[in-house]
A and B are shown apart, each in its own frame.
Chain A
Amino acid sequence: MKNDKDKSSKNAGKGNLSRRGFLRGAGLTTAGTVMLNSSVLAFESQPATGKAFGPDAVTIEMKVNGELKSLIVEPRTTLATALRDHLGLTGTKVVCDRGACSACTVWLDGRPVNSCMTLALDVGSRPVETIEGLAEGNELHPLQEAFIEHDASQCGYCTPGMIMSAAHLLKTNPNPTLQDVKKATRGNLCRCGTYPHVFKATLAAAKKMK
């Protein structure tokens, strides 16, 4: 894990841009489109600009939970770190830091991604939604209500990621089956073993939202 992190931190900006450069150069722009439309959530891509950044910090703007934020980040900064350490949005959790547990799930352009595997610089103009933006003011999302009612968190550390995965399901499928719920949350690790209550809560919220 340390090695992965170190590699990405040293050459993150450069390596990432050159990978896109390679895709473009090889005439595989459609490959990027395929990636976007497939369910490979961890590797978001966006149109290449051909511009190199780093290693020094740069100022970027990011639309988070409907608000435009300005932040100064190094190219190696992940979206998870930008949200947590730069914007103080610590609801998003980092657990494995390599795209294996989905604790850091946020919505990018309306779809769930692992924010630990997404570079802040790659977000561009696409909107980011985090757990902090799910409720409308004081009014909780029906899934959040259902999580409370069905005791769907124990320690609660996986909860934000779990909710972002399950809420996305409810957005796209108003009539989910148990199997649909399991599939939508299949990347989210919960070590306390709260899964059965997560399933119950999600199905109950779907019913309520009709």
Chain B
Amino acid sequence: MDTKKEKFPHGIPGYNLGEIEREIPAEDPPAWPINDELRVIGKRVPRLDARAKVTGEAKYTSDIQLPGMLYAKMLRANVAHAKILAIDTTLAEKLPGVHAVHLMHEMDDKDHLPMVKFVGQPIAGVAAESLDIAKEAIKLIKVKYDEKPFVIDLEDALDANAPLVYDEPIAEQRDGGDVGVVHDGSKGKGNLRGPSTSSFWGGPRGDVEKGFAEADVVVERTYRTQVHTHVPLETHGVVIDWKPEGMTVYASTQSTKGVRDELATYFDLPKSQVRVICQFMGGGFGAKHSAGTFGPMAATLSKKTGRPVWLMLDRQEEHLAEGNRPNSLHSLKIGAKKDGTLTAIQQKSHGTAGVALGAGVGRIAQILYECPNFTTEQYDVLTHAGPGAAWRAPGNVQGAFGVEQAIDELAEKLKIDPLTLRDKIDKSDVRKVERMRGAEKFGWSKRQPAGSSQGPVKKGMGMAQSTWPRFVHLDSSVEVKLYKDGAVEVRSGVQDIGTGTKTILAQVVAEELGLEVSDVTVRIGDTVFPDGPASGGSVVTGSITPPTRNAAYQVKLKLFDLVAKEWKTEANKLTVKDGMVVHMDDSSRKMTFKDALKSLRTGHISVLASRGDDYGGFQQSWGLAYGDLGSVQFAEVTVDTQTGLIKVDRIVAAHSCARPLNIGQLESQINGGVIQGVSYALYEARVMDKGTGHFINANVDQYKMPYAMEIPEIESILVEEYPAQSSTDAYGIAEPANIATAAAIANAVYNAIGVRIFEIPITPASILNALNKDYE
């Protein structure tokens, strides 16, 4: 590969900004300067699709209506563990308006009736002329169960006599919680699987026994977090139209590519015959990467009936079967010397992702702080409950809740300010700047000693921090097309799930071509375009914007070649500025970008580019870039010690995503991460009935989430940072925004009342119990 040397801005403006030389691919564009010197990058640019959203014109998957479309509904198990003895669909099939009934297990194993392993497991599907008829038909299907004992509680499931969820090894790692090197599920006894003992860039090191022997102080605690569900406002679902020449799938998904690949494999079709479209998506938060069981069901019903089939889950189904963040029982032992230096960290965790795996507590304990001696054992516990799924910073949110409280407790024992201790043990530059700028904006200096707030209504301040890797998917491609009439179009299969991907692609192209954002048409969310990354793990921005810029740059060079011929000059003498193509040596020689495109011989020219390796040699062979998206969050709370009521008054969230692209959208995502963190810390929890195995608050009214009245004041600080790793040097922010909040709130609650709470959600009852226990 031809390369060239290029100088890049490097570091943090206002702290250590400098320059670095990188050897980069010859076809890549020159380095962008820092955001201050750019026109549309790093500015507040309104979303391209905002108008469609505020007028109701935006068509989500659930809004798709096709001629002759049927509505489908799935029948789900209402027992937690059973052998199905018989399924009788006769009455359902006879109901007027019903067009097809299909049994779930017939897709995999026609000869054996399946086992039920959780309430909500899909059994059958019906396609009918209306949703009401489909719902009636479902009720007419008779299922005969041979019920078995079940277990839904994490600690009960560890009992030697507990009913087994699987009586054979499960080799498959499902779409679960933890990130990193996970066990394969075949190890372990009973309902226990694991342990996972390492993660990339972390893992066991040194000698923890020796480390603890060297410690002057030790904190040893156990933390508990709850199971909670994603509750995307648009549920999982698809509309599928299966024609002889192939199927068209409208999917509410975080991965058009992933859904296409799954359905193509499932039905043994070439990928070219499965077209997946997602133009607008009503929330996913990690749970919507797969075609699930509803995808194959809708496809089969469409094939059977020859008509398009609409299959969107209802709210209860969404809660029961489409993912949750696993709970955790997380023990930490941390030792430190008098000056704060960490000597050892020992971690052990158990969590349940129901019938799936992936309940680890992530990498926070392994890599956030410098510590020479470390071990971890993270176990999965299987239960008869709905499967877990990735949920915004999987594992790390649970992990941070423990780690960041333990570090605070350590600081208190050492009589060091929590920020000062972190300055000592945290080697990240960006978090150091975030601590400084955040503390100033928040007013950290006004923080009082724990429990010193007077009167029955107490105020408290706390903070916590997080890390998330700069993930990149190399299979990320974009085409930029210039049309003879002046039109500019960006095309990629990548979907915009509400994060603003459409808009940042337009910004990148507009910046590169010297145009306005409104000059750029963005067509994404369709697998007829080049494959884009899945929207998960905060990978999209870092994966898709560099090839977008590269494609725009390269197609611009093609245009320059044509113009240069006409102007009888060299192509490298041309540049773009304010919608014009300009000669660098003679600014009177210029023409509009639109006029320049008239010189095309063909109707359009285009360039397709893909994500290359990171600059600077940090690229891992498996497609990840090294680096750290650090964040520090500060929380101020009010706790009424008479009622136990907690109110989060204010959050200051200091974040970095390298080069910020769109300020408004970034603030939106930070607000969202923080609010979901508040919700996790104080409100939401899946409540299971041990007697029946049912999820009893599987709705919106009893599954508590914050509404307008509970929203704290949120101020965000974006710390610009230039690692010089790609042609845009930009990354996402979804996961980092969600990791530290619950821990910051827990630390603030402790600061307010002087008693530490080790379990979330922190409810009024848990406050009163903790205070009473302390009093005793």
Contact = CB atoms under 8 A, between A and B. Distances in A.
Interface of A: 1-2, 5-6, 9, 74, 76, 81, 84-85, 88-98, 100-101, 103, 130-132, 134-135, 140, 144, 147-151, 153-160, 163, 181-183, 185-199
Given A148-B47, A186-B709, A163 B54 contact: yes
25 contacts: A2-B314, A6-B135, A93-B60, A93-B234, A130-B56, A132-B56, A134-B55, A150-B664, A151-B50, A153-B498, A154-B498, A154-B499, A154-B500, A154-B669, A155-B498, A156-B498, A157-B283, A186-B707, A187-B707, A188-B707, A192-B283, A192-B498, A193-B676, A195-B675, A195-B708
A132 B59 CA distance: 13
Nearest to A182: B708
A46 B316 CA distance: 31
Contact of B56 (A5, A90, A95, A194): A90
Interface of B: 44, 46-47, 49-60, 62-63, 65, 130-132, 135-136, 139, 230-234, 280-283, 285, 314-316, 497-500, 664-665, 667-669, 671-676, 698-701, 705, 707-709, 711, 713-714
A37 to B, nearest CB: 23
A208 to B, nearest CB: 15
A196 B668 CA distance: 8
Contacts of B285: 191
A148 B50 contact: yes
Given A156-B498, A157-B233, 7 more contacts: A90-B59, A92-B56, A132-B55, A144-B55, A148-B51, A151-B664, A183-B708
B54 A159 contact: yes
A92 B714 CA distance: 29
Nearest to A143: B54
Q: A88, A155, A157, A159 — which one has the most chain B CB atoms within 10 A of its CB?
A: A155
A93 B135 contact: no
B55 A96 contact: no
B671 A191 contact: no
Given A2-B316, A191-B232, A193-B676, A156 B282 contact: yes
A76 B49 CA distance: 35
Contacts of A6: 135-136, 139
B707 A151 contact: no
A5 B665 CA distance: 37
A154 B671 CA distance: 11
Contact of B675 (A132, A135, A193): A193
Contact of A89 (B56, B674, B699): B56
A93 B705 CA distance: 19
Given A2-B314, A182-B708, A193-B675, A156 B58 contact: yes
B699 A96 contact: yes
Contact of B280 (A81, A156, A195): A156
Contacts of A163: 54
Q: Is the interface of A mostly helix, strand, loop or mixed?
A: loop
A89 B708 CA distance: 27
Given A140-B51, A189-B707, A196-B714, A101 B233 contact: yes
A101 B165 CA distance: 35
Nearest to B57: A91
A150 B668 CA distance: 9
Contacts of A95: 233-234, 315, 700
A205 B46 CA distance: 16
Contacts of A192: 283, 498, 668, 672
**Looking at A88, A103, A195, which has the most chain B CB atoms within 10 Å of its CB?**
A195
A194 B448 CA distance: 32
Of A150, A192, A199, the most chain B CB neighbours within 10 A belong to A192
B709 A182 contact: yes
A155 B671 contact: no
Nearest to B138: A2
B665 to A, nearest CB: 6
B62 to A, nearest CB: 8
A187 B705 CA distance: 11
A55 to B, nearest CB: 11
A194 B672 CA distance: 6
A100 B672 contact: no
B46 A188 contact: no
Contacts of B700: 95-96, 98, 100-101, 189
A193 B671 contact: yes
Contacts of B58: 91, 156
A134 B713 CA distance: 30
